Amino acid sequence: GAGVSQSPSNKVTEKGKDVELRCDPISGHTALYWYRQRLGQGLEFLIYFQGNSAPDKSGLPSDRFSAERTGESVSTLTIQRTQQEDSAVYLCASSLLAGGTYEQYFGPGTRLTVT
Amino acid sequence: QKEVEQNSGPLSVPEGAIASLNCTYSDRGSQSFFWYRQYSGKSPELIMFIYSNGDKEDGRFTAQLNKASQYVSLLIRDSQPSDSATYLCAVIMGYGQNFVFGPGTRLSVLP
């Protein structure tokens, strides 16, 4: 079946502009996660959705970052007034979290470059 | 504090050898453990998961879990240059399915 998809695959934006990053999880997966990965660094947790609620927003680095999810499908991560330090790959993952199945599956990521 | 620790490497092994990757975690109550492989410029790919103490084998990969020691490892037998990647350990900790990833170990398999 189809895996996690993300769009766009690459985004170049000017400092101060807003950007929206989209994630389509695997069909039926109730949990959705966003991570940030700077070049050469590890995964940085941003936010987790269970259905369309976000029990854990602890990783959002500032109030410029927000995310929403429609039901158990698409999620959008929005970064307002982008800064150069926002440049990174933004990864989305989804998980079934039911019936003893807890593995996360990752999308290909969106590479964001802020100039 | 919820932590997952791994040696950053690089871990270098000759082709055909066994590569041993180790991970420790802080939450004694953790029940679910995962290994991901990440090639440079690509997203993480799930290669193994383990929920019970002991060994779990899948092809050339073996995951080993020791909950008493809070330790999980990944063995790669007959290592190939194509196994060269960063290996991420992940643990579900606490409530709410909080996935915590380690910093990753970079493996280099030398031909």
Give the nearest partner residue to A56 out of B34, B88, B98, using CB atoms.
B98
Q: How close A61 comes to chain B (CA, Å)?
A: 17
Chain position carrying tokens 């990521």: A109
Whether the per-residue pLDDT at B63 is higher than 70: the answer is yes
Which of A95, A86, A90, A76 has the alpha carbon at shortest distance from A27?
A: A95
Residues 12-31 of A with CB under 8 A from B: 31
Whether the per-residue pLDDT at B93 is higher than 90: the answer is no
Residues of chain B neighbouring A48 (CB-CB closer than 8 A): 96-99
Q: Which carries the bigger pLDDT value, residue A101 or residue A51?
A: A51
Whether the per-residue pLDDT at A1 is higher than 70: the answer is no
Q: What is the pLDDT of residue B95?
A: 64
- Do A43 and B44 lie within an 8 Å CB cutoff? yes
Q: How close A79 comes to chain B (CA, Å)?
A: 21
Q: What is the pLDDT of residue B56?
A: 96
Least-confidence region, from A90-99, B18-27, B34-43, B61-70: A90-99
